[in-house]
Structures are given as C-alpha cells and as structure tokens.
Amino acid sequence: MEDASESPDKKEKASESPETKEKPLKFQRVKLVLEVLACVAFVVTAICAGLAVFEYKKANKAAARTQLYNTERVIADREIQRPHLQRLYCEGKPELPPEVHVENMLRLCMHGTVDKSLPLSVRANNAKELAKFVWSSETFHFPENVVLRELYIHAETYIYHVHQVWDFKQGGFISEDEWKTWNELLTHITPHPLTMTAIYAAWERKYFSRSFAKNVQDTIKNTEHNRQIVEYFYKELLAPAWLEKFPDYD
C-alpha cells in the first residue's frame, strides 16, 4: 500500500518525465555556448580594432613621410632655380676664428666669394643686429639687403621644416633614428649667421615649441665648432634662460 501521508511535492517530482528533467540542462548548455560565442566575438572585434589602429598609424606615418619629402623637393627645386640659395650650406674652415667665419659667410652671401669685402652697411656684431638690418624699415630698401633677406627666408624655411619633423617625431609618426637623420640638416646650417638670425627671430616671436628649442640648443652644444660660432654671434642661445620664453605645449 502507498503511504497516504506522502506529500504532494514528492508526488509531483515522481511524476516528472525524463524530458522535463533535461530541460534545465539544455538551457545551461545553450547559455554556455552563447557565452563562449560572445567571448570569441569580443576577441575577434578587439583583434580587428587593433589591426585597424595599426593600419591607421601605418597610413599616417606614410603620409607624414610623403609630406616631408614633398617639402624637401620644393626646397630643392627652389635652390635649383635660385642657385645663390645654395650658399647657405657652405662650410667655413674649422681653424678660422668665429668672427672670421661669420664675416666670410656674409661675404659669400653677398658676392658668392669670400674675397670681396662687405658693404659697411652690412656690418653686424650679433644676430640681433643682423635681424635689425635685414628687416628694419631704414635698411629694407638697400640693394645688398635683397640677397640677405632671401637667404634669411630660405634659412627660416629650413628651420621650420625641421621643426615639423620634430613634431612628427613627438607624435610618433617617425622613429628616433629617422629624426636623427633629419636633425643633421639643423647641425649643418646652424653655424651660418643668417640661420642664427632666423633662430633669434623665432625666439623673439616665440615661434618654436620649448621642446624643439631645447633640441636646437642641445644640437649646437654637441658640436664644438658650432658652439664656438654661436657663442660669438648669438651667445644668449646657449644660456638655460633662453628656453623660458618659448611656449611649452608638447
């Protein structure tokens, strides 16, 4: 005989079919599969996003290099059309005193040779005085100023070209090794009095970022010949306080 005292719950459980008992199990399996698929989808999405970012950065680096090479080509074409602009790259003799070097570079700018004397009007003892001569309303119309001003602008163009390369390096678009190659341009033209004058104008108008200005300063200090010339013609550039005027926006 069945126990009359058996509870209804036990009777209900006893009456459950095997199919009914399997339903929770099937639900758990389906849930587990969905969770696994969701994890796989997340990983795949993350990988795709990473690849997209990689390709985006790669494209940006290629675009940055293209822009720099195009600028370089424009500068080179200008120098072919205006050969006297190439005088900016002439190197003085390392054994010459800085004052003689500066004098020779200015003679070369004016005459294409160091054998002819400078006009008295072009005498300048430092970068500030040369900047005043090049841009002052009192001397702007001097015939000898035309060539100096054109070379000054050419030097300034190259400096800001290198500044752009620095900005690309800071942004991760070119490598440190690539930057060192580009920075050699700055090392090469810094000893020229018109380059120093353009750097002076950048300081006066706060045209550099402080980090680039620090690079200019370090680049000059690392080359003894350049440092001696700058110390003679624009000694303020070598002082720590020189950097304070530039905006620190990096």
What b-and-e string marks burial along 223-236, b requiring 16 or more CB atoms within 10 Å of the CB? eebbbbbbebbbee
Residue 1: predicted pLDDT: 46
pLDDT for 93 beyond 50: yes
Q: Give the residue carrying structure tokens 């008992």.
A: 21
* Domain edges within the chain: 20-81, 85-245
Pairwise CA distance, residues 19 & 89, whole Å: 91
- Phi, psi for 25 (deg, rounded to 5): -65, -45
* Amino acid at the residue 180: K
pLDDT of residue 25: 63
For the chain, give the percent of residues with pLDDT over 70.
78
Sequence-separated (6 or more) residues with CB below 8 Å from residue 107: 113, 114, 115, 116, 117, 118
Tokens (6 digits) for 81: 């059309």
Tokens of 165: 């390369």
The SS3 call for residue 132 is helix
Average pLDDT (230-246) is 96
SS3 173: coil
Q: With contact defined as beta carbons under 8 Å apart, do 107 and 116 qualify?
A: yes
SS3 state of residue 193: helix
pTM: 0.76
Q: Are 237 and 230 in contact (CB under 8 A)?
A: yes
Angstrom distance (rounded) from CA 166 to CA 212:
7
- Quickly count: other Cβ atoms within 10 Å of residue 62's Cβ: 11
The separation between CA 153 and the C-alpha centre of its own chain, rounded to angstroms, equals 20
Q: Tens of pLDDT along 145-199?
A: 899 999 999 999 999 999 999 999 999 999 999 999 999 988 989 999 999 999 9
Residue 111, pLDDT score: 87
Nearest to 162 by CA among 151, 174, 150: 174
Please compute, for residue 17, the number of CA atoms within 13 A of its CA located in the half-sphere on the CB side: 3
Nearest to 204 by CA among 162, 248, 242, 154: 242
Could you tell me which residues come within 8 angstroms of residue 183 by beta carbon, excluding any fewer than 6 positions away?
162, 165, 166, 215, 219
